[in-house]
Structure formats: structure tokens, C-alpha cells
Chains A and B, each alone.
Chain A
Amino acid sequence: SQTIHQWPATLVQPVGSPLSLECTVEGTSNPNLYWYRQAAGRGLQLLFYSVGIGQISSEVPQNLSASRPQDRQFILSSKKLLLSDSGFYLCAWSVAASRGIGNSPLHFGNGTRLTVT
């Protein structure tokens, strides 16, 4: 069965510090990978998605970046955090659309609760 791991679960970082959140998926190959953010009391905002190694699509211009160095690894980074970066960050995967399955749902990791102070 497929599993998704995301860490850390919680993180408190000062403004201006760097960020690295990691997500790995097991039990599937060539998944679509996603990073979402949910601010307190708000809906989920898609930040990045990837359909393959090295392929990153950015949805919202900001000081965050994403990388996919391996097929089942997705990393969210920032060089300098802002207060507005606080939120609940969720990694997710879905079956690759290139397989002809364009209707597969997302499966989320447990999330990282980031507080920028």
C-alpha cells in the first residue's frame, strides 16, 4: 500500500531563517506531488505541484520554492521566512495523470504546522 511521510510535524522558526520541509511517498512510482498551505481558518492554497523529477509548477509567486530531486521526494524550501509564511503545510500525492487516470484524488501527509516568530 502507498504511504506518505512528511516531517517535521511542528516547527517554530524566526523571521529571516531558512526553511526545508521534506515529503516522501512509498509504494507507488511517478506520482504527482503537491504542496498546499492552509492558513489559520482558511482554505487550502496550492503552492506547487510536480508531475515528474525536476518538473515544478508554481501556483503562487512568493518566497518559497520546491524541488523534486527524486521520483518520490518533494521538498519545500525558503531562504528567508516571513511572518506571513506561518500556516499548516500539507504534502500530497496522486496517481500520475500521464497514466491516463486524470480523476484520482489526493492523499495527504500529516502536515507540518509552521509558526514564524
Chain B
Amino acid sequence: RKEVEQDPGPFNVPEGATVAFNCTYSNSASQSFFWYRQDCRKEPKLLMSVYSSGNEDGRFTAQLNRASQYISLLIRDSKLSDSATYLCVVSLGKAAGNKLTFGGGTRVLVKP
């Protein structure tokens, strides 16, 4: 089993719709969680951290379910500019030198 797994997609989303996708992780000791966005042929950029209680940043909502070992990202009112690959990232924390493990990414295509 991979340490961090994501549905590769693509998720084809009508403009203005809501899309949500998950990311599962295998190590129950994982302590930090992030969502990154990567545009084609560009470097990944931090979208948001994921906190235990869940958090929201504008149209984006991230949640953590430790019992089932997954995190989720929800995008409301999708814009064409939201088209990208969304990478789930998990850290084992300070004991592992803050090493981050990336999922393979979920591709989202927002269409007019």
C-alpha cells in the first residue's frame, strides 16, 4: 500500500459546481497535512494546511479524519482557474525530520 494515495481523476467539473476529493494515508503517526496545487509544468504551490478541526480558506475547505486516515479538499463555486492537479502531502513530523510524502495528485478540470 502506498503511503499517500489519491484518485488521479480527472474530475470534470462544470464551472460554478462543487467538487470534493479525498486522500488516504497509511501511517497513523502522521502529524501534518497539506494540500498543494500544481499547474502544468510548474512547481507545486501551497494551497492550505489541514488542521484537526477542519479549516476553510475562501472557496476551499479542508478536513482531516484521523480515525479513517484520510484528508479531503472541497472546492465550492469552481472557477476555470481552479483547473490544476491537487497534491495531498503528509508529514511524519519532527521525529522524521519533517519529511513530507506526496500523493500522486488529483487532476481537476473545470469547464465552462
Contacts and interface: CB of A to CB of B under 8 A. Distances in A.
Contacts of B46: 105-107
Nearest to B88: A43
Interface string A8-51: 00000000000000000000000010101000001110100101
Question: Most A CB atoms within 10 A — which of B31, B34, B45, B98?
Answer: B98
B87 A102 contact: no
Interface residues of A, number: 26
A110 B42 CA distance: 7
A49 B99 contact: yes
A46 B44 contact: no
Most buried by B among A57, A105, A106, A109: A105
Interface string B98-111: 11111111000000
A66 interface: no
A92 to B, nearest CB: 8
A111 interface: yes
A32 B97 contact: yes
A73 B89 CA distance: 24
Contacts, number: 65
A49 to B, nearest CB: 6
Contacts of A110: 42-43
A113 B99 CA distance: 23
Contact of A106 (B42, B97, B100): B100
Interface of A: 32, 34, 36, 42-44, 46, 49, 51, 57, 88, 90, 94, 97, 100, 102-111, 113
28 contacts: A32-B97, A34-B100, A43-B102, A46-B99, A46-B101, A46-B102, A49-B97, A57-B97, A88-B41, A94-B100, A97-B93, A97-B98, A102-B32, A102-B93, A102-B94, A102-B98, A103-B32, A103-B49, A103-B98, A104-B98, A105-B49, A105-B100, A106-B44, A106-B46, A107-B46, A108-B44, A111-B42, A111-B43
